[in-house]
């Protein structure tokens, strides 16, 4: 399970270092793609394959086709270079508005890459409703 928040820098060639602790968990082959809310998602290859098999069962309707186009057209297989970096392509950099300062966060079965400014804005907008989110999602299971 991925968790934690790591502040990293992306260079002018789109290379982003992933912390060693996460690299070990992620493994050598993984997928980087567009995520929700303006970030990028990174999935281990086996998790990605499970997700895609579920998505292939979606009905052949416009909304499902558009979702698949958006998700898969941005996806690319990656592995680490010798310095533990990944290479994020220009369309994904543009999609996530990545500048120099980035935040890599662990979110259970995936990692997310955020532009630091966007991440800070997201956390400010959502921190006050954290308890309400928990109540809404887990009210039956809370003590």
Domains and CATH numbers, the chain: 2-115 (3.40.1550.20)
48 pLDDT higher than 60: yes
Q: What is the pTM of this model?
A: 0.90
The two structure tokens encoding residue 70: 């958006």
pLDDT tens, position by position, 77-131:
999 999 999 999 999 999 999 999 999 999 999 999 999 999 999 999 988 888 8
What pLDDT was estimated at residue 77?
96
Give buried/exposed letters for 56-73 (b at 16+ CB in 10 A, else e): eeeeeeeeeeeeeeebee
Q: Are 44 and 2 in contact (CB under 8 A)?
A: no
Is 140's pLDDT higher than 80?
no
């Amino acid at each position: 399970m991925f968790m934690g928040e790591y502040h990293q820098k992306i260079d002018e060639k789109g290379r982003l270092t992933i912390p060693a602790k996460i690299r070990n968990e992620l493994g050598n082959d993984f997928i980087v793609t567009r995520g929700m809310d303006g970030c990028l998602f990174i999935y281990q290859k086996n998790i990605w394959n499970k997700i895609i098999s579920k998505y292939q069962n979606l009905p052949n309707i416009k909304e499902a086709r558009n979702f698949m186009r958006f998700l898969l057209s941005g996806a690319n297989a990656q592995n680490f270079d010798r310095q533990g970096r990944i290479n994020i392509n220009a369309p994904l950099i543009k999609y996530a508005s990545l500048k120099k300062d980035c935040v890599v966060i662990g979110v259970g079965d995936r990692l997310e890459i955020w532009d630091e400014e966007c991440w800070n804005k997201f956390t400010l907008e959502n921190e006050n409703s954290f308890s309400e989110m928990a109540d809404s999602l887990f009210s039956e299971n809370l003590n």
